[in-house]
Amino acid sequence: MAITRELKLEEIGDYLCLLCELDDQHIMPEEEARALYDTVGRYPFYKIYCVCSEDRIVGTYTLIILDNFGHGGLKIAIVENVVVAPDVRHSGIGQEMMHDAMQRARDNGCYKLMLSSDIKRTGAHAFYESLGFQKHGLSFRTELGK
């Protein structure tokens, strides 16, 4: 049985390995990740959740909840870094994680949960749409460099 809980500092190495599924070109050194873990822990609501099964992390997502002046002051939630380990994909873990994220956002008074997905990840788009997410507007970005 899988359980969902917050990531522990001692699991940073395993977490970084899982994130390589999203981007294996920009890997954060573990020492920097440990420092960042402490930094984001001081944010009002920046949580890294992991799904654990048989003593290993098989999935993860980050949930960020932001206060908001718009929509009468209702909060918004952003989900990021959604990853399921390749050997357990299509087993329901992704669906479980996203339902968990939606419930946590609801429980924290958010009126919407947003996510962004690379335009090339059509399989992920179909997955999100199957959960009730709708394409809304356009997403824009610019690379800022260092």
Give domain status of residue 43, yes or no: yes
pTM: 0.91
Q: Which residues pair with 114 in a beta bridge?
A: 78
Name the phi and psi angles at 28, rounded to 5: -80, 130
Give domain status of residue 20, yes or no: yes
For residue range 110-132, what is the model confidence (pLDDT) as tens digits? Answer: 999 999 888 888 888 999 999 99
Q: What's the CATH code of the domain at 106? A: 3.40.630.30
Give domain status of residue 137, yes or no: no
Domain containing residue 27: 3-130
Tens digits of pLDDT across the chain (146 residues): 789 999 999 999 999 999 999 988 989 999 999 999 999 999 999 999 999 998 899 999 999 999 999 999 999 999 999 999 999 999 999 999 999 999 999 999 999 999 988 888 888 899 999 999 998 888 888 989 87
User: Could you give the CA distance from residue 47 to residue 54 in angstroms, rounded to a whole number?
Assistant: 22
Q: Which of 79, 123, 120, 72 is nearest to 102 (CA)?
A: 79
